[in-house]
């Protein structure tokens, strides 16, 4: 359980690390090509430990030294993805095309991670993985399990819109997985794979950047992506881009708590990946200042309400809960429509318990004016961003708030409580003495 003593002023500098979703894809690409990669700017999150355990079970390995990791997949020889660790993170799913491509067969039981999918149990869809791989010639005889072989390999042209819930736009939870799977399979398919209408942002963009640097990926004149196969034994060095959601978390804290916070570890090139989020903040009256590898937020006057769309062509869906928190501080409120995870609203229970006025209609949250203000509450959070937004909301409420579900933070942050303590917040795990000192 986390204990938050809110109402204290925050200020200072905090560093963000690499994007965990990009980490998963680059590791999977290294497995697919049975290569060796030196990875920089690695975050201290659950995925790193679990991926190391998974690669060890596959015959490879990951050695981590601070923020540098060496991924060695040259000796990968086991097609069975270890079911225990794979059930702990969602990213294990992308070892399916990687192992299948490297060894010609794969056996995968299940993935884990935040349960934010559209079904009653929150499970995320996986059918798109099978469907894309079958286009390359893979076969999966058991409809209830991702156990299959890839004996007759062929190149493919994959149109990601085939996996969209919308005809004219990339909508729904399947298109990002389809894009990633096509890219990873393309590394092991003969000739050249063409991916039409790919999701051109976040982890997919980071993976394509990596493939371009290796000389096996390119953007076609019509906007399609091309991946060249037979990239066995590729090696190199790659620096992970900053984590979009972590960056937005600290900027949201700065705005919501009126705290002068500077985020470091964000090169100037990162601004291009943050354009949708920056545009949304600008509509609210928040200006971002990018300078010398840092970014900070300034507000001139009251915040303005706005309507936000989170999706593959808009604001990153992982920042959706923080948009809701910011809108509670506007005089007119607003809305957030999530076009990817249309049932991702579990975080609202915590905000409502603290006094926010929000309701859900379909896949849209309506937010009415009124910041969270109730103290002395105990909250239960069930996913990474729900826990993080509850912490930020509690920091703005004078008094004590208790939050269950702190373990979810380890999937998305390199110790968020410590980072916030470095800014002056009083946040600690129950039974663990509060630590003072800067973070970064």
Which neighbouring-strand residues pair with 289? 296
For position 440, what pLDDT does the model report? 42
- Residue 163, classified by CB atoms within 10 Å of its CB into exposed (0-12), middle (13-18) or buried (19+), is buried
pLDDT of residue 439: 40
Residues 6+ away with beta carbon under 8 Å from 177: 93, 125, 126, 128, 129, 163
At 131 the pLDDT is: 95
The predicted pLDDT at position 341 comes to: 83
What pLDDT is attached to residue 238?
93
Give the count of beta carbons closer than 10 Å to the beta carbon of residue 245.
24
Return d(Cα 355, Cα 31) in angstroms, integer: 47
Distance, in Å, from the CA atom of 111 to the CA atom of 108, rounded to the nearest integer, reads: 9
Computed over its alpha carbons, how large is the radius of gyration of the chain? 21
As a whole number of angstroms, the distance between CA 379 and CA 354 comes to 9
pLDDT at 126: 86
Query: Residue 213's pLDDT is what?
Result: 87
pLDDT at 120: 52
Structure tokens at 87: 């059930």
Backbone angles phi, psi at 157, to 5 degrees: -110, 115
Structure tokens at 329: 């501080």
Residue 438, pLDDT score: 39
CA nearest to 186, candidates 346, 33, 412 = 33
pLDDT of residue 421: 96
Query: Mind listing the pLDDT tens digit of every residue in the chain (440 residues)?
Result: 999 999 999 999 999 999 999 999 999 999 999 999 999 999 999 999 999 999 999 999 999 999 999 999 999 999 999 999 999 998 999 999 999 999 999 999 887 766 555 555 556 778 999 999 999 999 999 887 899 999 999 999 999 999 999 888 899 989 999 999 999 999 999 999 999 999 998 899 999 988 998 889 999 999 999 999 876 777 889 999 999 999 999 999 999 999 999 999 999 889 999 999 999 999 999 999 999 999 999 998 899 999 999 999 899 999 999 999 999 999 999 999 999 888 789 899 999 999 999 999 999 999 999 999 999 999 999 999 999 999 999 999 999 999 998 999 998 898 999 999 999 999 998 877 655 443 44
Three-class HEC string of the chain: CEEEEECCCCCEEEECCECHHHHHHHHHHHHHCCCEEEEECCCCCHHHHHHHHHHHHHCCEEEEECCEEEEECCCCCCCECCHHHHCCCHHHHHHHHHHHHHHCEEEECCCCCCCCCCCCCCCCCCHHHHHHHHHCCCECCCCCCEEEECCCCCCCEEEHHHHCCCCCCCCCCCHHHHHHHHHHHHCCCCCEEEEECCCCCHHHHHHHHHHHHHCCEEECCCCCEEEECCCCCCEEEEECCECHHHHHHHHHHHHHCCCCEEEECCCHHHHHHHHHHHHHHHHCCEEEEEECCEEEEEECCCCCCCEEEECCCCECHHHHHHHHHHHCCCCCCEEEEECCCCCCCCCHHHHHHCCCEEEEECCEEEEECCCCCCCCCEEECCCHHHHHHHHHHHHCCCEEEEEECHHHHHHCCCCHHHHHHHCCCEEEECCCCCCCCCCC
- How confident is the model at residue 436, as a pLDDT? 42
């Amino acid at each position: 359980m986390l204990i938050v003593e809110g109402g204290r002023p925050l200020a200072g500098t905090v560093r963000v690390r690499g994007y965990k979703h990009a980490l998963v894809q680059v590791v999977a690409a290294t497995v697919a090509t049975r290569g060796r990669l030196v990875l920089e700017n690695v975050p201290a999150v659950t995925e790193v430990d679990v991926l190391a355990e998974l690669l060890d079970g596959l015959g490879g390995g990951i050695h981590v030294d601070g923020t540098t990791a060496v991924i060695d997949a040259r000796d990968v020889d086991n097609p069975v993805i270890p079911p225990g660790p794979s059930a702990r993170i969602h990213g294990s799913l992308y070892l399916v095309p990687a192992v299948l491509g490297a060894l010609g067969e794969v056996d995968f039981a299940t993935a884990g991670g935040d349960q934010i999918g559209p079904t009653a149990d929150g499970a995320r869809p996986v059918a798109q993985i099978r469907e894309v791989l079958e286009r390359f010639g893979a076969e999966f005889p058991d409809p209830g399990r991702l156990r299959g072989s890839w004996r007759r390999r062929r190149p493919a042209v994959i149109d990601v819109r085939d996996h969209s819930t919308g005809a004219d736009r990339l909508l729904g939870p399947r298109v990002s997985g389809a894009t990633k799977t096509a890219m990873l399979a393309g590394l092991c398919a003969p000739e050249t794979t063409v991916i039409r209408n790919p999701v051109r942002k976040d982890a997919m963009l980071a993976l394509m950047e990596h493939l371009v640097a290796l000389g096996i990926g390119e953007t076609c004149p019509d906007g399609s992506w091309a991946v060249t196969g037979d990239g066995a034994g590729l090696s190199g060095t790659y620096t992970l881009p900053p984590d979009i959601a972590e960056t937005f978390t600290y900027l949201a804290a700065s705005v919501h708590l009126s705290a002068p916070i500077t985020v470091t570890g964000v090169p100037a090139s990162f601004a291009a990946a943050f354009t949708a989020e920056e545009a949304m903040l600008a509509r609210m009256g928040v200006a971002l200042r990018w300078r010398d590898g840092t970014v900070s937020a300034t507000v001139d006057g009251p915040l303005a309400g706005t309507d936000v769309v989170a999706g593959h062509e808009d604001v990153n869906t992982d920042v959706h809960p923080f948009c809701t928190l910011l809108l509670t501080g506007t005089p007119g409120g607003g809305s957030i429509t999530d076009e990817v995870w249309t049932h991702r609203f579990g975080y609202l229970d915590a905000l409502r318990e603290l006094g926010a006025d929000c309701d859900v209609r379909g896949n849209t949250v309506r937010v009415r004016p009124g910041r969270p203000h109730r103290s002395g509450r105990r909250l239960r959070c069930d996913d990474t961003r729900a826990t993080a937004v509850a912490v930020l909301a509690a920091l703005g409420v004078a008094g004590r708030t208790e939050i269950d579900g702190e373990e979810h933070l380890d999937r998305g942050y390199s110790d968020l409580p410590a980072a916030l303590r470095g800014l002056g917040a009083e946040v600690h795990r129950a039974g663990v003495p509060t630590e003072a000192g800067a973070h970064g």
